[in-house]
């Protein structure tokens, strides 16, 4: 009877499950982490809060409140006069539409072009592939200020087609055009690198299965790889939109006509004669709020893409 109750020879009993618990964080350490988070939040939030609040005050009250906590609260002589003054001083809506169009087109075209380049570098096999990738990554260390003057010379030599009434006129040079603010920034080495890294993490077995079904490389790119690349697309969209929206030096160099200027160049209007700091804060607030709203929207889609995308086995 004792032999019947013994375990079979060579069979090891299953180990008892261990109840693993995370080590509790000490109270002083938890307090320090909380304090560090609060300080970090204040570092980023207080300048924005000061800008929004100051946009509602006249200049004299802005300087009077800077020595106390009232600088961060909408108290005192609060009104929307500064916002009305912005519209009287600059064509704000025109600048805003220019920036939205330039940034939007650059993002859309950049996602298409850079993802195609990354697809060719990560999924196809051809001679010189690694050399091209190395050259693209090497351009990341070159600051844009170094390339600005040579780029300005080249865009001034490129052919251009302009509409004069009902006739097309062929000229030379892209100065004072929309395309000079869009086309030079479509191809981006950092975006290519981000897409390349993400495409490399997608199993190649999906390509082989699609090829067996008769799909070509562009069909694989469009129907297999890109639908699985939501996080990369959202990240590239954010990192492309923000520099184009905040561009100041390049539009200042290539655009002289007022109707073609983006919002960042428009801020120079407030520093030409007497500086009205309340209007400066109002203008800065109006060009910051759309960026914050769009960024939060992209951030939410970015998190949802990470949670929902992937390869399921």
3-class secondary structure per residue, the chain: CHHHHCCCCCCCCCCCCCCCCCCCCCHHHHHHHHHHHHHHHHHHHHHHHHHHHHCCCCHHHHHHHCCCHHHHCCCCCCCCHHHHHHHHHCCHHHHHHHHHHHHHHHHHHHHHHHHHHHHHHHCCCCCCHHHHHHHHHHHHHCCHHHHHHHHHHHHCCCEEEEEECCEEEEEECCCCCCHHHCHHHCCCHHHHHHHHHHHHCCCCHHHHHHHHCCCCHHHHHHHHHHHHCHHHHHHHHHHHHHHHHCCCHHHHHHCCCHHHCCHHHHHHHHHCCCCCHHHHHHHHHHHHHHHHHHHHHHHHHHHHHHHHCCCCC
Rg (CA), the chain: 28
Q: Return the exposure string of 243-259: e unless at least 16 CB atoms fall within 10 Å of the residue's CB, then b.
A: ebbebeebbeebbeeee
Residues of the chain with pLDDT > 90, as a percent, come to: 44
Band of residue 102 on the pLDDT scale cut at 50, 70, 90: very high
**Across residues 193-204, what is the average pLDDT?**
90
Q: pLDDT tens digits for 136-167? A: 999 989 888 888 999 999 999 888 877 666 67
Residue with tokens 């060009």: 287
Residue 155 CB neighbours (<10 A): 19
Q: pLDDT tens digits for 200-230? A: 889 989 988 999 988 899 999 999 999 988 8
pLDDT of residue 308: 44
Q: For the chain, give the number of residues.
A: 313
Burial of 50 (0-12, 13-18, 19+ CB in 10 A): middle
Domains and CATH numbers, the chain: 80-308 (1.10.3720.10)
The rounded mean pLDDT for the chain is 84
Q: pLDDT tens digits for 109-133? A: 999 999 999 999 998 888 888 899 9
**Across residues 239-267, what is the average pLDDT?**
92
Mean pLDDT comparison of 125-129, 185-189, 306-310, highest-scoring range: 185-189
pLDDT of residue 311: 40
pLDDT of residue 310: 42
pLDDT at 24 over 70: no
Q: Return the exposure string of 97-129: e unless at least 16 CB atoms fall within 10 Å of the residue's CB, then b.
A: ebbeebbebbbebbbeebbebbbbbbbeeeeee
pLDDT of residue 5: 45
Band of residue 18 on the pLDDT scale cut at 50, 70, 90: low
pLDDT at 19 over 80: no
pLDDT of residue 129: 87
Half-sphere exposure of 213 (CA within 13 A, CB side): 12
Residue with tokens 């079979």: 8
Distance between CA atoms of residues 14 and 261, nearest Å: 72
Band of residue 303 on the pLDDT scale cut at 50, 70, 90: low
pLDDT of residue 161: 77
**Across residues 27-40, what is the average pLDDT?**
87
């Amino acid at each position: 009877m004792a032999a019947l109750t013994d375990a079979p020879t060579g069979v090891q009993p299953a180990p008892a499950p261990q109840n693993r618990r995370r080590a509790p964080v000490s109270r002083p350490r938890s307090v320090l982490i909380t304090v560090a988070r609060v300080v970090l939040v204040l570092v980023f939030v207080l300048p924005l809060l000061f800008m929004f609040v100051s946009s509602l005050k006249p200049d004299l009250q802005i300087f009077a409140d800077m020595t106390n906590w009232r600088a961060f609260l909408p108290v005192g002589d609060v009104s929307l006069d500064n916002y009305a003054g912005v519209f009287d001083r600059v064509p704000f809506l025109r600048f805003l539409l220019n920036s939205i169009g330039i940034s939007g087109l650059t993002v859309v075209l950049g996602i298409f072009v850079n993802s195609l380049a990354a697809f060719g570098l990560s999924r196809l096999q051809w001679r010189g592939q690694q050399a091209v990738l190395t050259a693209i990554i090497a351009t990341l260390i070159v600051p844009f200020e170094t390339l600005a003057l040579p780029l300005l010379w080249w865009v001034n030599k490129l052919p251009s087609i302009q509409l004069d009434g009902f006739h097309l006129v062929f000229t030379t040079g892209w100065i004072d055009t929309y395309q000079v603010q869009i086309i030079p920034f479509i191809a981006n080495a950092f975006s290519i690198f981000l897409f390349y890294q993400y495409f490399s993490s997608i199993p190649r077995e999906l390509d082989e299965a699609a090829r067996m079904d008769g799909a070509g490389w562009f069909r694989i790119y469009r129907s297999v790889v890109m639908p699985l690349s939501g996080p990369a697309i959202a990240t590239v969209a954010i990192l492309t939109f923000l520099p184009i929206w905040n561009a100041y030096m390049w539009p200042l160099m290539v655009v002289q006509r007022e109707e073609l200027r983006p919002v960042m160049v428009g801020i120079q209007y407030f520093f030409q004669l007497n500086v009205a700091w309340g209007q400066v804060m109002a203008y800065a607030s109006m060009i910051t709020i759309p960026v914050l709203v769009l960024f939060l929207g992209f951030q939410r889609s970015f998190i949802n893409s990470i949670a929902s995308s992937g390869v399921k086995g």
